[in-house]
Copies of this chain bind each other. A is one copy, B any other.
Amino acid sequence: MREFSICRVLTVDSSANGHLPSRLLGQIHKTSQARQVIYRSNERSDAVTIICEGWAYVYSMLSDGRRQILSILLPGDIVTATAMLKDRASFSIQALTDIDYCQIDRTELKRLLVTDPTVLDEFFKILVAEKEEADQLVIDLGRRTADERIARFILGLMNRLQARQQVQDNSFAFPVRQQHIADATGLTSVHVSRVIGAFRKAGLVEIKGRSLKILNLNELKRISNAA
């Protein structure tokens, strides 16, 4: 549960207000093409970004080019709860597909935080969810095998998309490149290709166009070693 309910308000139905008053709506809306960097680390920013359409990802890059993806952002995700509290971050954000996002003034959002307990509460929930996801990723990268990591990457996406009613018949949008999977799981794209190839041969998944279908959910869960 990381989506910020404001997004629905902003994009789909401005009357069915989530938790934010309408005076905040209609703020800066933006569009970016796939691959575009929409936030560069250490840049100052007075805005809090929310993804409305499309996918993006949060990443960090070492000076020698090694890249680690910290999280994939889906429609409705707030671009890091932390952005609400700080005007600078050490990671960058890049659009994965063409995206649509809106930016809300931090000061205004912050004022709301203090005055409206419902907003504060929801904000806390997002902070906690983000921290728990980061911790899970630490465990994945520190202690899980390549197969487990990749299976969990896929299942994790499916769960988040499921919460958005975007999974049908175990099939869902999958615009990520293998290089993204590699950078998210701490592997190389070559190895990701081998593992996914093995998954495919074992009849676990099918990837066509930009979507993925899970053919054997139980087995994939078993491999992911959820426990």
Contact = CB atoms under 8 A, between A and B. Distances in A.
A141 interface: yes
A138 B134 contact: yes
- Is chain A's binding surface mostly helix, strand, loop or mixed? helix
Contact of A90 (B66, B82, B132): B132
Given A131-B82, A227-B63, A138 B137 contact: yes
Copies of this chain assembled into the complex: 2
A128 interface: yes
Contact of A128 (B82, B120, B141): B82
Contacts of A125: 85
A132 B227 CA distance: 26
Chain A, interface size category, equals 35 or more
A131 B134 contact: yes
A114 interface: yes
A124 B138 CA distance: 22
A117 interface: yes
Contacts of A90: 132, 135
15 contacts: A60-B139, A62-B225, A66-B144, A68-B142, A82-B128, A85-B124, A86-B128, A90-B132, A90-B135, A91-B135, A114-B117, A130-B131, A134-B135, A137-B138, A138-B138
